Amino acid sequence: MEANKKACLIVIDGWGINADPKCKGDAIRDAPTPVMDTLREKHPYRTLAAHGLAVGLPDGLMGNSEVGHLNIGAGRVVYQDIVRIDLALKRNEFGSTENIRKCFDEAKSGNGRLHLCGLVSDGGVHSHIKHLFGLLKAAKEAGVPEAYVHFFADGRDTHPKSTTKYLKELLDELKALDYGSLATICGRYYAMDRDKRWERVQIAFDGMTQAKGEKVESPNDPKSVISTVEKRYENNETDEFLKPIIVDENGQIKDNDTILFFDFRSDRMREITQSFGIEPTPFDSPVPKNLHITTFTQYKSDFPFPCAFPPQKMTNVLAEWLAKNEVPQCHVAETEKYAHVTFFFNGGTEAQFNLEHRDLINSPRVATYDLKPEMSSIEVAEKVAEEIDTGNYPFVMCNFAPPDMVGHTGDYDAAVKAIAATDKGIGIIFEACKRNNYALFVTADHGNAEEMLGEDGSPRTAHTCARVPFNIATPDKVVLTEGSEEDALCDVAPTILKYMNIPAPEEMSGKSLISQ
């Protein structure tokens, strides 16, 4: 092969391959996708594992955007925080984990009040309910006098009306432990925003600090708590969009309190954490003074808060390795997925490597993306094509957000439009690759839009455990290795490096899928 070959990588968010051709609700199958059809039928093609142990997650757990981009960019299986945390939980080590122990000690030496804040479900994407249970048990064993749970409701990585199930599990656990109290309930739309919609975050914040919200009639009666949520369901207010419900007014976060945020995924916890601990506050609500904040993982590298499970060091990921080989590169995405083509793709670091250029395309300002299912896919595609046409960057990569973001809304018709728009965007980039002698590599970070309906016919909004495509269209002929069930996202970077005639670093344990 010639030296200095050029490559473009497209990572589609939420584009899985449904193993059941007769499955109802497969928006990818049902949408017009002439470009992806051509890539699959006329060019080298593989499927890759994108969930569970293949991407460093617990066996059988669905993939997600963070995990997908980390594995793709790292060229190795990146064992996720949930695996490390699960191991600590299994070994009963929460109480002896240094910064959890210090958090508990802070509460005990202060006013005795500990707040556990995070997403309460078994979705396993941002958090896990069993981690909350482990923290409650450890806090009781450590002698923390008071513990309050601020329950962020899911409905995206779980069924849209499953909060009542998790509430019952939590209330049963609190009763069994004879310890702790449920303070507030609030949907993740407010508590876990990541697009600087501070007016949303403020609603959650005010519920947690000022008890602004609907008061439960009989807070000591589990049935009353659950019926409050059920009444919201009757008014078509599902889990994600639950406005604050106040269960225990004594559970407001007050001056000198201690807070532990227990989500292990960072991107949707940054804003709520910043609201409590970083000045200036992004809205005009009063902030309790002298708070002691600990996060489960590192939510942002410049946050001053201790974290229970600090990041593993990642060296010689694809972006860093290209920089060391003096290969200029360009990363492009719209707002919703910009962190994924930068922070996550680059190995979980905020660093921008030498000769790395970034383009941010604004996501549309709509309440939910089913209102504009194409999002900014065409603008992203046109920017990528423009950067390819300059000839300045031998490696260009981008993300297409619509299949995942619209898939999360549960709106099947909107998802079909999102898929069609994404395919059109891929076509724009494919044409730019052909006229500039670039190889095109197309994959996805996880599944979603290929399974939009549950078994009962209700909308399905969560990610899936589906395999994802890996399409390769090159100016010259390449031959792939024989396909294997073990082929996974970690093989993407070594394959690209093999094509570009750049030896892969020893840290990349993934394998090239190009045989010659």
Residues annotated as catalytic (active site), given as ranges: 65
User: How far is residue 155 from each of residues 14, 117, 177, measured CA to CA in Å?
Assistant: 17, 17, 27
Q: According to the annotation, is 128 in a ligand binding site? A: no
Question: How far, rounded to the nearest angstrom, does the alpha carbon of residue 2 sit from its chain's CA centroid?
Answer: 38
DSSP E strand stretches across 112-206: 113-119, 146-153, 181-187
Amino acid at 387: E
CA distance 356 to 193: 28
C-alpha torsion sign, points 308, 314, 319, 324: positive
Question: How far, rounded to the nearest angstrom, does the alpha carbon of residue 36 sit from its chain's CA centroid?
Answer: 25
Q: Collapse the DSSP code of 392 into the 3-class scheme (helix H, G, I; strand E, B; otherwise coil) and give the result.
A: coil
Q: According to the annotation, is 463 in a ligand binding site? A: yes
Q: Collapse the DSSP code of 115 into the 3-class scheme (helix H, G, I; strand E, B; otherwise coil) and give the result.
A: strand
CA distance 297 to 309: 5
Total H helices, total E strands in the chain:
17, 15
Q: According to the annotation, is 268 in a ligand binding site? A: yes
* 157 and 126 Cβ atoms separated by less than 8 Å: yes
Q: According to the annotation, is 91 in a ligand binding site? A: no
Q: According to the annotation, is 408 in a ligand binding site? A: yes
* 492 and 508 Cβ atoms separated by less than 8 Å: no
| Distant-in-sequence, close-in-space partners of 111: CB < 8 Å, separation ≥ 6 | 256, 257
* 436 and 385 Cβ atoms separated by less than 8 Å: no
CA distance 292 to 401: 36
Q: According to the annotation, is 467 in a ligand binding site? A: no
Q: According to the annotation, is 13 in a ligand binding site? A: yes
Picking from 411, 426, 333, the residue whose alpha carbon sits closest to that of residue 373 is 411
Amino acid at 284: D
Question: How far, rounded to the nearest angstrom, does the alpha carbon of residue 123 sit from its chain's CA centroid?
Answer: 11
Q: Which residue has the tokens 């049963």?
A: 172
Question: Nearest-5° angle of CA 296, CA 299, CA 302?
Answer: 125
DSSP E strand stretches across 335-394: 356-361
Which positions make up the binding site for Mn(2+)?
A: 13, 65, 404, 408, 445-446, 463
Q: Which residues are annotated as a binding site?
A: 13, 65, 126, 156-157, 188, 194, 265-268, 337, 404, 408, 445-446, 463
* Residue ranges at the known binding site for substrate: 126, 156-157, 188, 194, 265-268, 337
